[in-house]
Amino acid sequence: MTHTTTDYSHAAIEADTHVPLIRITRDFAATPEQLYRAHTDPELYARWVGPNDITTKIDHWDCRTGGSWAFSNVRGDESYSFHGCFHEISPMRLVQTFTFDGWPDGVSLETLTFTDLGDGRTRLTATSLVDSFEGRDQWLASGMDVGINDGYAKLDTLLTEI
């Protein structure tokens, strides 16, 4: 499975046919260092992650190898919570678990890489590995594409500030 992203406004979201994995690819007009900071600084992360109609509240953030995190998304009277553990934190790669508390059995292992494309551009590649094809398909059907694309559009704006 190969893919080259050239559209800055939308992420390529692909389901692997051989393993229960989702691959997300998107290019940004930013350096790897800027993307790393936006993913590891809790104040910055809360400003861009998720759909446009939610507010993110960081409940816990210990961003280090062996640390953990938790946040809540709030939309009106609704609240959605998520949590996970940081397994590897390095400037070019982040590895963490990700659990939506509404699906506590649906833990994914996420790996994010920041590839310097030169000229102040970086390709973000994120993979989410889950325990079954059914679980993967549940994530894909959840509306995650809206949250990803809305969030990355907000990230584009934020990256011009940091």
Q: What is the pLDDT of residues 46-82, one digit of tens each?
A: 999 999 999 999 999 999 999 999 999 999 999 999 9
Going by pLDDT thresholds of 50, 70 and 90, the confidence category of residue 142 is confident
CA-nearest of 75, 52, 35, 68 to 159 is: 35
Give me the pLDDT at residue 103, please: 81
Token pair in block for residue 127:
């993979």
| Fold for the domain defined by 12-159 | Alpha-D-Glucose-1,6-Bisphosphate; Chain A, domain 4 (3.30.530)
Q: Which amino acid is at 123?
A: R
Could you give the CA distance from residue 39 to residue 47 in angstroms, rounded to a whole number?
11
